Amino acid sequence: MRILLIEDDKTVSQNISLILKRENIVVDCSFKAEDGLEDARHYEYDLIILDLGLPDMDGCEAIRRLRSMQISTPILVLSGMAAIDKKVNALAFGCDDYLTKPFDTRELIARINALVRRSKGYSENIIRTGDMEVNLNSKIVTITGKTLHLTSKEYALFELLALRKGATINKEQFLNHLYGGMDEPEGKIIDVFLCKIRRKIEKLSPQEDYIQTVWGRGYILKDLPVLQ
């Protein structure tokens, strides 16, 4: 998962970054609204976390501009202002959720997960395909009830496939979500990860190869009929 954080308070920004990194989320930080808008224009994010009190622009104006740029990425507003008017205003301008500072870490993570999941069209925490279940909350993948033991990097990569089940994900998208352009390794690393994941899947499910390779384009997590 890759998140854009627009927050001018360096300490708050650093704290949130740490919380997100612990969850294996790639985070890009902007300290000004203008820079954030620029990042949102150039990169693909799963979520934008936006502080309302920014030095160069009102947060609601930032939301309005993001939406007018046809950026439909979910926006979670973080603000020290608990006033109902502010919340209603931000929601009216097109933000998707609102959290007042100080907030609980677990609540932040839960809201992020729910927003991202919903934006990909899933109302549940569990993504199913065939005999496989991906639990986005516990980050546990099972096949016929048996746990598929993935490393945190493998899970992060697999989660991207799961959230876009049935769609091709190319190497650039994988790299973006796993490394966000920082110390980015070569695309070959994605093939290595996928190969490892496949081998693990094969042990639990020798008959079904859940991951499909689209030569020269990327990988797909197959959208299979769910077996009861």
The smaller minimum CB distance to Ca ion, of residues 79 and 176, is found at 79
Query: What totals of helices (H) and strands (E) does the chain contain, helices first?
Result: 8, 11
The smaller minimum CB distance to Ca ion, of residues 53 and 130, is found at 53
Lay out the site mask for Ca ion across 52-91 (x = CB under 5 A, - = otherwise). -x--------------------------------------
| Member of 8, 35, 39, 58 binding Ca ion (CB under 5 A) | 8
Nearest residue relative to Ca ion (C-beta): 53
Furthest-apart CA atoms within the chain: distance in Å: 57
In angstroms, the CA 23 to CA 139 distance is 10
In angstroms, the CA 101 to CA 12 distance is 10
The smaller minimum CB distance to Ca ion, of residues 57 and 91, is found at 57
Return the number of other C-beta atoms located less than 10 Å from residue 73's C-beta: 19
Answer yes or no: are the C-beta atoms of 163 and 111 closer than 8 Å: no
Q: How many chain residues touch Ca ion (CB under 5 A)?
A: 3
The smaller minimum CB distance to Ca ion, of residues 17 and 168, is found at 17
β partners of residue 219: 169, 213
In angstroms, the CA 51 to CA 7 distance is 5
In the complex, minimum distance from the CB of residue 50 to Ca ion, in angstroms, rounded to a whole number: 10
The smaller minimum CB distance to Ca ion, of residues 31 and 179, is found at 31
Lay out the site mask for Ca ion across 40-59 (x = CB under 5 A, - = otherwise). -----------x-x------
- Quick check: 191 binds Ca ion (CB under 5 A)? no
Of the candidates 124, 157, 158, which has an alpha carbon nearest to the alpha carbon of residue 141?
A: 158
In angstroms, the CA 14 to CA 94 distance is 26
Q: What angle, rounded to 10 degrees, do the helices at 188-204 and 171-179 form?
A: 90
Q: Mark the segment that binds Ca ion (CB under 5 A) among 2-10, 36-44, 82-90, 154-162.
A: 2-10
Of 130-159, which residues contact Ca ion (CB under 5 A)?
Answer: none
In the complex, minimum distance from the CB of residue 51 to Ca ion, in angstroms, rounded to a whole number: 4
User: Applying CB under 5 A, which residues contact Ca ion?
Assistant: 8, 51, 53
